[in-house]
Amino acid sequence: MGDEIERRYFDAEDFSEFRKRLDEETALLSRQFTDGEFSERGDVAGFELEGWLVDEQGDPVPDNEDYLAALDNPLVVPELAAFNVELNGSPSALTGRVFSRLQDELGATWNACREVAEQTGCHLVAIGILPTVSEKLLTSEYMSSMVRYQSLNDRIMALRDGKPLELRIEGDRELTTTHHDVMLEAAATSFQIHLQCKPERSVRDFNASVIASAPMVAASANSPFLFGHTLWDETRIPLFEQAVHVGDRYPSRVSFGAGYVNESLVEIFAENQRDHLILIPAVQDSPPGKFAHVRFHNGTLWRWNRPLIGFDFDGQVHLRIEHRVVPAGPTILDCIANAAFYFGLVRGFWLMERPPESELPFEVARDNFYTAARYGLNARVVWPRKGRLEEVSMRELIMTDLLPMARRGLASVSIPEVEIDHYLNVIAERVDSGQNGAAWQRRWVHLHGSDLHQMVCEYRALQDIGEPVHTWKL
């Protein structure tokens, strides 16, 4: 879905041709899995960070087209809304001082983005949901000019027979509203972590990513406010799931998934082909081995853990997992620490005597995820301990079980101890203090009142200093 398309509107022949090519490519992909014809390169890390353009008062600035032209950086691209941009990173081998390398690159890109923002009269903020964004800004008037976004909106609203999207999120005071386009999605910005897998590890890596989703979203939560309502610690989760809902007749386009993977990741691509309508039949002139239609269709399904097909520098097809549960921000250091925790958990689960998916039913992992999204570090979840499932506090689970596991996992791929300590200590101190981004925002409002514009300005100032969120004063 990241690829631009040439036209907005399609006819029945386009859908038929896209379906034909999707079926052909999915069959070829299945054979590729059977024959083991994937790149053996693995343990490669990457990321995408979404940000907001804001003015001096903390309101969104819908001007990413002029901003990106002034920036002129191929690593920074438009997002759905004209006030959002996306920063991309280069793939880096998951070994040695990988997190320092990732932080150096992201930090350099972020600082360049900040400098150009200030030159063009705005600022850049990384936060899961910008508390000052209003419903009137989340309309098609402020959609980026990319044709694919306009076509996506057309198709989803057509599938709903023009019926407005309904948003209902429980909180201190329930938020209930309706919306007439998919721009609600633009309010949810994330830090997406990518892991390129060795083929023989891809099933375990995917299932580990699913299980890791609950502690990851709890530790990183940064989205407690939407339209003046105090809602979930990571309100981004229910918001995105409802923002592109195609109607009750069809499976959700955004979900935690239907289960663990059993034999290979082709199970998910087969599910895509079998169960999900084609949204945008953008037929492309490319050979089946490029999997253009499989990849494009997969790009219109936003599972919180999404398998991807990509290509190495030499053209070999590779497998990646996109871990989508983590919100943007609060600082670059916090983002990279979140990535270190994720990679450590995935590799740590590999060191367990029994695969964790054999001990934690998928339904429990799913319930843990939504509980953690709602209550953050205050969540109580169910976890396997000594051969049985026990209810445990999230903070205790992370401090007692998961951080030691993540340390072992990173050590197993030759990450130096000093690197492990530097980044995982950020997670440990954040969890021990109970202050992630969501907690800081809630505490600020409790102490200073509900002036969300002032809170965003203070958040931005602290973000610019760059010290991790657990050190932020109130």
Note the Cα 459 to chain centre separation in Å. Answer: 21
Residue 462 has a pLDDT of 98
Answer whether residue 1 shows pLDDT above 60: no
d(CA 72, CA 85): 13
d(CA 316, CA 309): 10
Yes or no: say if 128 and 135 are a contact pair by the CB < 8 Å rule. no
The predicted model scores a pTM of: 0.97
d(CA 391, CA 9): 51
Domain annotation for the chain: domains and CATH numbers: 12-466 (3.30.590.20)
Residue 240 has a pLDDT of 97
Taking only the tens place, the pLDDT of each residue in 186-221 is 999 999 999 999 999 999 999 999 999 999 999 999
Q: Taking residues 444-455, what's their average pLDDT? A: 97
Radius of gyration of the chain (CA): 21
CB-based contacts of 353, cutoff 8 Å, min separation 6? none
Taking only the tens place, the pLDDT of each residue in 380-429 is 999 998 889 999 999 999 999 999 999 999 999 999 999 999 999 999 99
d(CA 236, CA 50): 13
d(CA 259, CA 393): 24
Q: What is the DSSP string of 350-414?
A: HTSSS-GGGTS-HHHHHHHHHHHHHHGGG-EEEEEETTEEEEEEHHHIIIIIIHHHHHHHHHTTT
Answer whether residue 247 shows pLDDT above 90: no
Q: Is 423 helix (H, G, I), strand (E, B) or coil?
A: helix
Taking only the tens place, the pLDDT of each residue in 34-64 is 999 999 999 999 999 999 999 999 999 999 9
Answer whether residue 83 shows pLDDT above 90: yes
Residue 411 has a pLDDT of 98
Backbone angles phi, psi at 36, to 5 degrees: 65, 40
d(CA 402, CA 345): 7
Partnered with residue 175 across adjacent β-strands are 169
Taking only the tens place, the pLDDT of each residue in 95-135 is 999 999 999 999 999 999 999 999 999 999 999 999 999 99
Taking only the tens place, the pLDDT of each residue in 137-192 is 999 999 998 899 999 999 999 999 989 999 999 999 999 999 999 999 999 999 99
d(CA 32, CA 29): 5
Q: How far is CA 247 from CA 64, 162, 241, 292, 395, in A?
A: 31, 11, 12, 27, 37
Q: How far is CA 448 from CA 134, 220, 442, 444, in A?
A: 21, 23, 10, 6
The two counts, helices (H) then strands (E), for the chain are 15, 14
Q: How confident is the model at residue 2 (pLDDT cuts 50, 70, 90)?
A: low
Q: How confident is the model at residue 334 (pLDDT cuts 50, 70, 90)?
A: very high
